[in-house]
């Protein structure tokens, strides 16, 4: 039994078919493995019946299920930022609302969290997507790891358990999928100990991925380079200017 308190949240955009099963499995897992918990779903401006589905689920599960609603879609980064802000427990776990990860594997992450570890990240044992998405995903992951100097093997695996106090040390700004790069890069810069564990990835049964669209990919890579500039390049330029000023 995980004795510390835990917030679990899911960013959701047009994920109404997968949410009942996902939320039901989540409560079943938490009741067996966590002493104190809450579940949060961030409805990021969904155009389907996600809102109605969540209202029905709230009537079933009561106050331990909280709903955060964005009237307008804020993007994946905006949804994650709202989820982290809403989470009030000692530890925070999140995964996507589309059901491609199995929340029943959460105990794997809980088992690795201890006094030394502040961040447990999953990595996909095998990606269950069409070949072109696998190729794009692997290329993006390798490129982002190289560009930002990230040590985690799978930046793109949104199956994460993070100590709340660590999240309080960073501020996220990304609105697109680049928020994952920003998150892991800033967490690694905190100098904490990280643990990683393999998790399964399943085919998407409902809806369409927002990441693998031309407009979304273009916006993601734009924000990726913007993030690279502000995280890595701008601080170095500032240090050089400060050194030049002090030596003048």
CATH number of the domain enclosing 109 = 3.90.550.10
Q: What is the pLDDT of residues 31-46, one digit of tens each?
A: 999 999 999 999 999 9
Cα four-point dihedral sign 95, 158, 100, 83: positive
Tell me the pTM: 0.84
Domain membership of residue 29 as a residue range = 2-247
What does pLDDT average to over the chain? 86
Residues 58, 13: Cα–Cα separation, whole Å: 17
Q: What is the pLDDT of residues 87-145, one digit of tens each?
A: 999 999 999 999 899 999 999 999 999 989 999 999 999 886 777 777 777 777 887 88
Q: Tell me if 151 sits within 8 A of 118, measured CB to CB.
A: no
Is pLDDT at 77 greater than 70 in this prediction?
Answer: yes
- 105 torsion bin: left (phi>0), alpha (psi -120 to 50), beta (else): alpha
47: buried, middle or exposed (CB in 10 Å: 19+, 13-18, 0-12)? exposed
Q: Tell me if 105 sits within 8 A of 8, measured CB to CB.
A: no
Q: Residue 216's pLDDT band (boundaries 50, 70, 90)?
A: low
What percent of the chain shows pLDDT beyond 70?
Answer: 86
Q: Residue 190's pLDDT band (boundaries 50, 70, 90)?
A: confident
Q: What is the largest CA-CA distance in the chain?
A: 69
* Count of structural domains within the chain: 1
């Amino acid at each position: 039994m995980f004795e510390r308190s835990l917030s679990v949240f899911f960013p959701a955009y047009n994920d109404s078919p997968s949410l009942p099963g996902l939320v039901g499995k989540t409560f079943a897992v938490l009741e067996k493995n966590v002493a104190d918990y809450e579940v949060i779903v961030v409805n990021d401006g969904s155009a389907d019946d996600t809102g109605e589905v969540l209202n029905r689920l709230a009537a079933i599960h009561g106050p331990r299920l909280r709903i955060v609603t964005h009237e307008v879609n804020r993007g994946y980064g905006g949804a994650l930022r709202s989820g982290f802000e809403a989470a009030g427990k000692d530890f925070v776990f999140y995964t996507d609302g589309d059901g491609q990860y199995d929340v029943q594997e959460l105990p794997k992450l809980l088992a690795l969290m201890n006094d030394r570890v502040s961040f447990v990240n999953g990595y996909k044992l095998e990606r269950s997507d069409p070949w072109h998405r696998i190729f794009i995903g692997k290329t993006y992951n390798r490129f982002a790891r190289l560009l930002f100097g990230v040590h985690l093997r799978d930046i793109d695996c949104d199956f994460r358990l993070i100590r709340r106090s660590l999240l309080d040390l960073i501020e996220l700004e990304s609105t697109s999928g680049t928020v994952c790069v920003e998150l892991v890069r800033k967490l690694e810069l905190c100098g904490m100990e990280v643990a990683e564990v393999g998790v399964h990835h399943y085919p998407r049964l409902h809806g369409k991925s927002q990441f693998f669209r031309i407009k979304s990919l273009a916006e993601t890579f734009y924000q990726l380079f913007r993030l690279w500039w502000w995280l890595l390049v701008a601080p170095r330029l500032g240090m050089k200017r400060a050194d030049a000023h002090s030596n003048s």
